[in-house]
Structure 1
Amino acid sequence: MLLSLRIENFALIDTLDLTFTDGLNVLTGETGAGKSILLDAIDLILGGKALSSMLRTGESRTLLEASFSLTPNLNTWLADTDIDPLDDLLVCSREISTQNTLRSRFRVNGVVVNKQQVAQLREQLIEVTAQGQAVQLGRADRQRQCLDGFGGEPLLKQRQQVTKAFARWQNITTELNTFRQNEQQRLQNIDLLRYQLQELDAANLSDPNEQTNLEQELQRLSHSVELEQQSYQVYQLLYEQDQGDACGDLLGQAESVLIDMSQYDSQLEPILELVQQALTQVQEAGSLINAYGNTVETDPEQLQSVEARLMELKQICRKYGPSLEDAIAHHQTIQSQYADLTGEGQSLEELEQTAAEYKAKLQQACAKLTALRQKAAQQLESRILQELKPLALDKVQFQVGLQSISPTQHGADQIQFLFSANPGEALQPLSESASGGEMSRFLLALKACFSQGEGVGTLIFDEIDAGVSGHVAQAIATKLYHLSQNHQVLCVTHQPMIAAMADAHFQVQKQVVMQGAKSARTKTAERTVVQVTSLDDQQRRQELAEIAGGQTTQQALTFVDSLLQQAGQVRQSYANGKTATQSKKAKKRAVNSA
């Protein structure tokens, strides 16, 4: 629970230190006295949005600090975040400063933390109920959150399963739609690749040098007659000359002369050897050229075939080249692309089947969630009606309507709170049928439904009594007191009946005070400040009288005394009822033990 609140230089507050108690803490004061400033301070400490206008005029720094008692859950949170307890306390603070820019820093037990960590703490520390929540409660999403929260952990876990199933189904649906949109383009690409593959397969490309080799073959075939004639001419020059001596004959004559000469001079033997080698090479060259000439012949069909193949390769290169090597590489690439488009990847039918399976799983998860919601709806209806009876709404009708809708991440239910405060009148949506006072009481009853168990330590109600008076206000006061037995309650109120039930009563006032001396820059040294006073019994009687009648007349004080006496009776009645309940439980345990 909230133990203390310290404020420096915030709005109209210069310095303020407040100590709260368990049970029901009430804040009263005139409209505009600054009661909401205290709630704003608590909100800021636990993550609310900071504005430069929140700093007290003339100040560049504000400090807000709240101390809470520790619980096992809070001790676990501190251990998880490596923060030590501080004298068995949880101290949350926020410092806001303005220089060139607005700066803000959160601390827990003196350790700097981030906003996300503060948000985690807030869920365990406080829950605020304000007038504006009546509008929010009229929204379908807020009503769904209330029902799911009331359903507890099993329902919330199933809703998480629905969220996961919806995400899977949505992803496969998106993939399926994309696949369908791309299918036409895919089929067009397959046709194009198939045509190119057929053409390249028919070309039977394998050797990147084929075109060069064919061009050389074309030259040979085109000049076969010339080659045959010229080879015969070379043969004659080398070996058999019809007119004159051939090269071989002349070398043979030179060889004979050199043989004779070397008999007389051995120095000529190397020259003889060279001539003999030349003669051997000429004879071999003649033999080879003669053999070549015999093989050269005109082949028109081969020439036509080579020309046709070269034309085919040139066309292939123009389309897929520029070189034959590039065309072969392109052939390999489109083979891979074609395999990808026509291979064993997911087909449209497979995707449709997967999407249908995911949708079926989503529907199953939604059906389980709907069943849990129906069960929770029945329990919430019973609890709400039970809580509304003491609030002068004993004839009220309330129903949680569940209507089937297409599956969403929140399930397949449209949830609507239906309400009728008057017998004989049909149930209508809560936001359309409940008056302001009825909505306030409904909010209070809803909080009472969630108040069992651990939950947050401190419940804050900001003018939950708006729009009510008389016995209804007394019923709200009693309900707030009952809530304060399981939780600390902070309540801003204008109702004397509610204030009379308080365990601690704080008066909020605006006062104009003199601060410092006048100066040339300031025309006056007067400043408005908000002051909060913890009232003793006598001061409380005076404040209640002011709230009840606007003045502390004897008549007003007499009325206040009756309110305080009535509050004492409510406390005593609650204590007796609690004792009786505990006694019944003890007897039941004793019987069970026996």
Structure 2
Amino acid sequence: MLQELSIRNLAVIERIRVSYHRGFQVLTGETGAGKSIIIDAMGLVAGGRGSADMIRHGCDRAEVEAVFDLPESHPVWGALQRLGIQGDPQEALIIRRELQAQGKSAARINGQHVTLAMLREAGEHLVNIHGQHEHQSLLRTDRHLEWLDSFAGEAIQPLKSAYQDQYREYVSVNRELKELEDLTRQQMQMLDLYRYQLEEIAEARLKSGEDEALAEERRKLAHAEKLADAASGAYDLLHGAKGLSVLSKAISRLEEIVKVDPDRLSPLLEQLQSAFYNAEDVAHQLRDYRDDIEFNPERLSHIEQRLDLLFSLKRKYGESVEEILAYHARIQAETDRLENRDERLKELSESEERLRAELEAKAELLSGIRRDVSRQLARAVESELKDLQMERAIFEVRLESGTLSPTGSDLAEFLLSTNPGEPPKPLARIASGGEMSRIMLALKAIFSRIDQIPVLVFDEVDTGVSGRAAQAVAEKLSRLSCHCQVFAITHLPQVACMADYQYEIRKQVTEDGRTATSVKELAREDRVEELARMLGGVEVTDKTRHHAQEMLSLAEGQKNAC
């Protein structure tokens, strides 16, 4: 469950911290008070998109933090482990999301920085938000197969995964086959050019990094005489009368007098001796360096020719020896492909035929599972709809065969009949807004038991319903809260009174003239006042208060014990 939600500088919310409970909770308040901002905040901690526009005016960032209390068996712990995020089921799970005015976003799970994709993967196990826009997903037939397969669960998942792996292989084979079939005469004529280039590069016998090594060797050979003269001159100076011999004589003079004034002369003597040994070592190294200098005009000429060849190849094939070798590998692969086109075409055609046959067989198995599951889903939805005052509704899943696709060969569409004697028709053609709300609620009720998502959020799911239908929606939400924590934004007192907890969202003007939204958990007497406002509008009378009190008492008696 969601234990606590903290929001700072999000839209008109300056700073709030709200504790929540298990069961069914409603958020009520005047239109525009900021109820949807609470839902937006929940969406942010679940990995929803955020933008700088959501930050409170005049602030440089917005922050949302959610604390979840989850059992050890909950699937989110496995998801966190796969993502490399530390989590202890014995402790709370803390998610923090930050939006910055510069447009950047940061997220943390248990204090560890995560990407938005990682947050979204974890959030899918934690919060499911149903807003009014989600009605549209019921009208999109491309989503219906997704719903059906989700209901099938493990009955279809292994086979579907195997099918999808093979389908990706099939697509890859098909793409390569088409590319080979589409080779033009001009591409085939490139073979002669590729062969010439391969031969030219191969004859050069290139070695990685040789251009740099040759350039360095050329530099030394070209300046061999200058290097030798300088090294020899320096060596002669060190070994001459003004070199090491002068240092040696100076050391002898100091050694004669060091005992007279050891405190001041001993350090000077040590420095002079060190200078002598260092100079002697340098002299030996200069001699060796001079002796190693190579005078080889023939080698210099060979290097010049080799570098000219490399320069010519670089102008054609790349800026370095490594790029030339990489180009050689590419055109070698392309040459092989062109030279073996006919053989590869035959091989790919056979693979495509084999894969297609295997995919069709798997797709047929998938269709069989879906036909069975579609009947089960139809019965489950009709059962839920009966609880929602749609006793005579007939729900069907129509499956039709299509071409092979990433999900098989099936096309699924939800059909509904709300009037006796009328055949089921596509939802878009017959369902009203209130009926769509109840169909979606029915599906959510079914899938909440499958998904194990602990927090379900409904943003005005009661849109378009009233009277007994509204009461049925309220009762369904209450029963739904037996297996998960349910939040609902509502303007209907029939729904609000069935909640276990009620929060009033209120917008007010602060002392500094700014608008701020506050959230208050209502005690029973406050709930009566808020329900009276929802019943009576602007003017709350003793009669509306009495009616609200009666509704609350009746609701307490109607709630099912979980």
Task: Pick from 73, 92, 95 the counterpart of residue 95 of structure 2.
Answer: 92
Match of 1:555 in 2: 543
* Alignment partners' CA distance in 1, 2:484 and 2:130: 14
Deviation at 1:345, TM superposition (A): 6.6
* Alignment partners' CA distance in 2, 1:339 and 1:528: 71
| Aligned ranges 1:368-517 → 2 under 5 Å | 368-453=365-450, 455-515=452-512
Matching of residue 566 in structure 1 with residue 554 in structure 2: yes
Task: Pick from 342, 348, 351 the counterpart of residue 351 of structure 1.
Answer: 348
Match of 2:526 in 1: 539
The CA deviation string for residues 140-168 of structure 1, in whole angstroms up to 9 with x for no partner, is 12111111100102313322222222222
Secondary structure in 1 matching 2:343: coil
Code of the residue aligned with 2:527 in structure 1: it is R
Matching of residue 141 in structure 1 with residue 142 in structure 2: yes
Match of 1:175 in 2: 176
Match of 2:63 in 1: 63
Whether the aligned pair in 1 keeps the contact of 2:85 and 2:112 (CA below 8 Å) is no
* Alignment partners' CA distance in 1, 2:432 and 2:150: 25
The alignment's TM-score, normalised by the length of structure 1, stands at 0.66
Which moved further from structure 2: 452-461 or 138-147? Answer: 452-461
* Alignment partners' CA distance in 2, 1:357 and 1:384: 40
In the alignment, structure 2 segments of 5+ residues that lack a partner are 194-333
Whether the aligned pair in 1 keeps the contact of 2:437 and 2:461 (CA below 8 Å) is yes
1:189–1:60 Cα change, 3 Å: closer
* Alignment partners' CA distance in 2, 1:3 and 1:158: 39
Secondary structure in 1 matching 2:44: helix
Deviation at 1:179, TM superposition (A): 2.7
Matching of residue 131 in structure 1 with residue 146 in structure 2: no
Secondary structure in 2 matching 1:394: coil
The alignment's TM-score, normalised by the length of structure 2, stands at 0.70
* Alignment partners' CA distance in 2, 1:340 and 1:77: 43
Matching of residue 5 in structure 1 with residue 2 in structure 2: no
Whether the aligned pair in 1 keeps the contact of 2:86 and 2:110 (CA below 8 Å) is yes
1:367–1:79 Cα change, 3 Å: closer
Code of the residue aligned with 2:368 in structure 1: it is A
Code of the residue aligned with 1:103 in structure 2: it is K
The CA deviation string for residues 177-228 of structure 1, in whole angstroms up to 9 with x for no partner, is 23333387799899x99xxxxxxxxxxxxxxxxxxxxxxxxxxxxxxxxxxx
1:59–1:152 Cα change, 3 Å: same
How many residues align? The count is 418
1:423–1:338 Cα change, 3 Å: closer
Q: Could you say what the CA RMSD is over the residues aligned between the two structures, in angstroms?
A: 2.5
The CA deviation string for residues 274-297 of structure 1, in whole angstroms up to 9 with x for no partner, is xxxxxxxxxxxxxxxxxxxxxxxx
* Alignment partners' CA distance in 1, 2:448 and 2:181: 52
Whether the aligned pair in 2 keeps the contact of 1:84 and 1:109 (CA below 8 Å) is yes
1:58–1:87 Cα change, 3 Å: farther
Secondary structure in 2 matching 1:64: strand
Match of 2:241 in 1: none
* Alignment partners' CA distance in 2, 1:480 and 1:54: 30
Whether the aligned pair in 2 keeps the contact of 1:86 and 1:109 (CA below 8 Å) is no
* Alignment partners' CA distance in 2, 1:466 and 1:498: 11
Whether the aligned pair in 1 keeps the contact of 2:399 and 2:411 (CA below 8 Å) is yes
1:545–1:183 Cα change, 3 Å: same
Secondary structure in 2 matching 1:117: helix
Code of the residue aligned with 1:562 in structure 2: it is E
1:53–1:177 Cα change, 3 Å: closer
Calculate percent identity across the aligned residue pairs: 35
Which moved further from structure 2: 102-111 or 32-41? Answer: 102-111
Whether the aligned pair in 1 keeps the contact of 2:398 and 2:413 (CA below 8 Å) is yes
Deviation at 1:6, TM superposition (A): 0.6
* Alignment partners' CA distance in 2, 1:339 and 1:393: 67
